[in-house]
Amino acid sequence: MSDLSMQYLGLMLNGPIVVASTPLSDRIDNIRHMEDAGASAIVLTSLFEEQLALESRALDDDLSRGTNSYPEALNYLPEQGDYHMSHDSYLEHLRKAREAVKIPIMASLNGASAGGWVRYARDVEQAGAQAIELNTFALATDASQTAEDIERQLLTLVESVCKAVKVPVAVKLSQSFTSIPNLAMRLEAAGARGLVLFNRFYQPDFDIESLEVRPTMHFSTPSELLPRLHWAAILYGHLKGDIGITGGVHSVEDVLKAIMAGGSVAMMVSALHIHGIDHIARVLDGLRYFLEKREYASLAEMRGCLSRRSVPDTTPYDRGNYIKTLSSYSLRPTISAF
């Protein structure tokens, strides 16, 4: 039987499919189901920086009623009760998840400033998280803030968390950086043991009748995988740490592509919301079938085989791909009448 095990963040995983952060794992029965279906690790939903700020505001309000020293921006964010879990119930859930399954459970901290993350990182480590995923979603809307300011803030956050805990820390990165290879190397120097490519960017939509700007959420499609494959393939071999791929992983083929690009794990969320948790087992069966048919002894030996450093012609990863794609497009004859 083919060996599907992969190493990720220093952990030996029994397969390549990790469940990325999703409210599906807010339930312990789902977590057990994920393990039974063959998930090799689970990243819990995020604890949000803004949520923790609200909790400490509530605590402060109790201690000193009448003072309002918190940023106005917090008023526009979800109310405290709208988040999945409070800080304490998150830690309790983490402990229960650890007891319920043998596969690694990773905590997710979601924020943009160094703030109180050190304390929360220690809290989740003590509660049993075997790794921490730091989701660093930040949006540049202030014209006075430079790219260097944003990267420095990110690096400070990562460094402070990595120094505070012993468990490995992975950074779930946004795709919108000018030089991803340079940032990746600096994140590694700051202590990150892995990069998760990429955060999805949920843009709001416009309601043209009510003239409102509304949050939208839709599940991914496999087309979202392409930029992840591209950057994983470029980074593979240049980093000591691991690459996790999240965004557009739905099928056997997608998992294989993620590993061939250089990923150590392929993460799934949308596919599980659409097809159910048992989808993991079906994809793993397909992976075994593929490996046996091609006579691969293990999935790990396939890792990075289509990365930029492994292919004889690197043009597809450079500007050549762009030129070739556009210049080789030919117009088809138009159908003028039915």
Ligand X SMILES: Cc1cc2nc3c(=O)[nH]c(=O)nc-3n(C[C@H](O)[C@H](O)[C@H](O)COP(=O)(O)O)c2cc1C
> CB-wise, 22 or 308, nearer to ligand X?
22
Name, in order, each residue with C-beta under 8 angstroms of 14's C-beta and a sequence gap of 6 or more. 4, 5, 38, 40, 103
- Footprint on this chain of ligand X (rule: CB under 6 A): 20-23, 45-46, 108, 110, 135, 172, 200, 219-220, 224, 246-249, 268-271
> CB-wise, 184 or 308, nearer to ligand X?
184
Residue 107: name the closest of 93, 282, 99, 115 by CA. Answer: 93
CB 201 → ligand X: shortest distance, Å? 10
> CB-wise, 150 or 196, nearer to ligand X?
196
CB 249 → ligand X: shortest distance, Å? 5
**From the centroid of its chain, how far is CA 68?**
35
- 28 burial via Cβ count (<10 Å: 0-12, 13-18, 19+): middle
Q: Please, which residues bridge with residue 232 across strands?
A: none
The identity of residue 202, as a single letter, is Y
CB 230 → ligand X: shortest distance, Å? 16
CB 85 → ligand X: shortest distance, Å? 10
Measured torsion, CA atoms of residues 234, 237, 241, 243, in degrees rounded to the nearest 10: 40
Is residue 198 within 8 A of residue 228, CB to CB? The reply is: yes
> CB-wise, 199 or 307, nearer to ligand X?
199
265 to each of 7, 11, 119, 273, how far by Cα in Å? 8, 11, 28, 19
> CB-wise, 172 or 257, nearer to ligand X?
172
CA pair distance 154, 137, nearest whole angstrom: 10
- 111 burial via Cβ count (<10 Å: 0-12, 13-18, 19+): buried
CA pair distance 132, 109, nearest whole angstrom: 7
CB 268 → ligand X: shortest distance, Å? 5
- Cis before 198 (ω within 30): yes
Tokens of 5: 């095990």
> CB-wise, 95 or 275, nearer to ligand X?
275
CA pair distance 178, 192, nearest whole angstrom: 19
> CB-wise, 21 or 307, nearer to ligand X?
21
> CB-wise, 269 or 308, nearer to ligand X?
269
CB 223 → ligand X: shortest distance, Å? 10
CB 20 → ligand X: shortest distance, Å? 3
Residue 283: name the closest of 266, 296, 297 by CA. Answer: 266
- 79 burial via Cβ count (<10 Å: 0-12, 13-18, 19+): exposed
CB 35 → ligand X: shortest distance, Å? 18
CB 143 → ligand X: shortest distance, Å? 27
CA pair distance 134, 187, nearest whole angstrom: 12
> CB-wise, 40 or 246, nearer to ligand X?
246
Is residue 296 within 8 A of residue 2, CB to CB? The reply is: yes
